[in-house]
Structure 1
Amino acid sequence: MAEQEAAKITDTNQAEAEVAELQRLNSLPFASSAMGYIKRTGPGLLQSAMTLGAGSAAASVIAGASFGYKLLWVQPVAMFLGVMMLGALSNVVLTTGERPYKSFGREIGKWLVVLWALGTIMSSIIWHFPQYGLAASAARDLGAMQGIVSVPPDVTAANAVLEEAQKTNDESQINAASDQLSLAKKETSALGLGFTDSGLLLSFGIGLLILCVNIVTTFNYGGDSRGVRLYEWFLRGCIALIVIMFGIVVLAKIDVVAADIGEIFKGFIGWYGIPNLWNTDGTMNNSTVTQVLGMLGAAVGINMTFLYPYSLLKKGWGKDHKKLARWDLGMTMFLPFVLVTSLVIIAMKVGGVYDGADVVNTTIKPLGAAKALGGVLGENAGRVIFDLGLIGMTCGAISTHMVVCGFTFCEMFGLKQTKTRFRLFALVPAIGILGVVSSLPIWFPVAASAVCFTMLPIAYFAFLIMNNKRSYIGDAVGSGWTRVAFNIILVIALAVATIGSGIKIYGNVIKKLLPEKEATAAAVEADTKPLPIE
Structure 2
Amino acid sequence: MSSSPSTTTEPARQGWTLVGPGLIVAATGVGAADLVATVIAGQKYGYALLWAVVVGCLMKVVLVEGAGRYTLATGRTIYEGWATLGKWTTWYFAPYIVIWGFVYGAAAMAGTGLPLHSLFPGLSVTVWGIISGLIGLALVWFGHYSLFEKVCAALVGIMFVTMVIAAALTLPNIPELLSGLAPSIPEGGLVNVLSVAGGVGGTITLAAYGYWIREKGWTTPGHMRVMRLDNGVAYTVTGIFVIATLIVGAELLYSAGIAVQTGDQGLLDLSDVLQERYGDWAGTIFLVGFWSAAMSSLVGVWNGVSMMFADFVGHARKLPADHPSTRLGGTWYKAYILWLTFPPMIMLFFGQPVWLILAYGVLGAFFMPFLAVTLLWILNTSRTPEQWRNGPVVNVLMGICAALFAWLAATQLQGSIERILGG
> TM over 0.5: same fold?
yes
**2:61 matched residue in structure 1:** 83
| 1:328 aligned partner | 230
Equivalent residue, structure 1, for 2:337: 426
In the alignment, the residues of structure 2 paired with residue 63 and residue 217 of structure 1 have an alpha-carbon distance, to the nearest angstrom, of 34
- The structure-2 alpha-carbon separation of the partners of 1:202 and 1:488, relative to structure 1 and needing over 3 Å to count, comes to same
| Aligned position for 2:289 | 389
Is 1:366 paired with 2:267? yes
Q: Deviation digits for residues 379-410 of structure 1, max 9, x if unmatched?
A: x2221111111111111111122113421332
- Comparing 380-389 and 411-420, the one that deviates more: 411-420
1:291 has 2:198 as partner:
no
Residue in structure 1 matched with residue 28 of structure 2 by the alignment: 50
1:247 aligns with one of 164, 178, 193: 164
The match for 1:170 is none
Decide whether the 8 Å contact of 1:142 with 1:387 is kept in 2. yes
Q: Which residue of 2 aligns with 1:70?
A: 48
Mapped to 2, the partners of 1:125 and 1:85 lie a distance apart of 25
1:127 maps to 2:112:
no
Which residue pairs with 2:381 in the alignment? 469
Query: 2 CA distance for matches of 1:235 and 1:274?
Result: 35
**Letter paired with 1:133:** A
Deviation at 1:472, TM superposition (A): 3.9
Aligned partners of 2:167 and 2:134: how far apart in 1? 31
Which residue pairs with 2:306 in the alignment?
406
Larger radius of gyration: 1
d(CA) in 1 for partners of 2:95 and 2:207? 10
Residue of structure 2 equivalent to 1:230: 147
Q: Percent of aligned positions with the same letter in both sequences?
A: 19
Residue 353 of structure 1 deviates from its aligned partner by 1.7
- Where do residues 178-189 of structure 1 align in structure 2 (5 Å cutoff)? none
Letter in 2 for 1:474: E
Q: Equivalent residue of 1:98, what SS?
A: coil
Residue number in structure 1 paired with 2:176: 263
SS in 2 for 1:270: coil
Say if 2:324 is the partner of 1:347.
Answer: no
State how far apart, in whole Å, the 2-side matches of 1:306 and 1:407 are: 11
Contact 1:294–1:501, Cα closer than 8 Å, also in 2? no
* Partner SS for 2:278: coil
Amino acid at match of 2:285: I
Residues 402 and 428 of structure 1 are in contact (CA less than 8 Å); yes or no, is this contact kept in structure 2? no
Q: 1:345 to 1:299 in 2, by over 3 A?
A: closer
| Deviation per residue, 1:259-306 (Å, 9 max, x gap) | x11111222x136x222x2xxxxxxx3xx2122123323445542243
The aligned counterpart of 1:375 is 276
Does 2:404 match 1:491?
A: no
C-alpha distance 323-381 of structure 1, shift in aligned 2 (>3 A)? same
Q: Deviations over 1:497-519 (max 9, x none)?
A: 111111111111x3145x3xxxx
1:507 match: 415
Matched residue SS, 1:116:
helix
CA contact (8 A) 2:43 2:259 kept: no
Write the mapping of 1:84-103 to structure 2, written as runs, cut at 5 A.
84-103=62-81
CA deviations on 1:57-90 (whole Å, 9 max, x unpaired) are: 2111211221222222212211211220221222
* 1:37 alignment partner AA: W
The count of aligned residue pairs is 404
TM-score (norm. length: structure 1): 0.69
Q: What pairs with 1:427-466 in structure 2 (closer than 5 Å)?
A: 427-431=338-342, 432-433=344-345, 439-466=351-378
Q: Where does the alignment leave 5 or more consecutive residues of structure 2 unmatched?
A: 1-5
When structure 1 is superposed on structure 2, of 442-451 and 418-427 the one drifting more is 418-427
> Could you tell me how far 1:19 is from its partner in structure 2?
8.3
TM value normalised by structure 2? 0.86
* AA in 2 matched with 1:120: I
Residue pair 2:30, 2:200 contacting (<8 A) in 1 also: no
Distance in 1 between residues matched to 2:61 and 2:158, nearest whole Å: 23
Q: Give 1:309 deviation, angstroms.
A: 1.8
Distance 1:252 1:323 in 2: 38
Q: Which runs of 5+ in 1 are unaligned?
A: 1-15, 26-34, 149-197, 278-284, 522-534
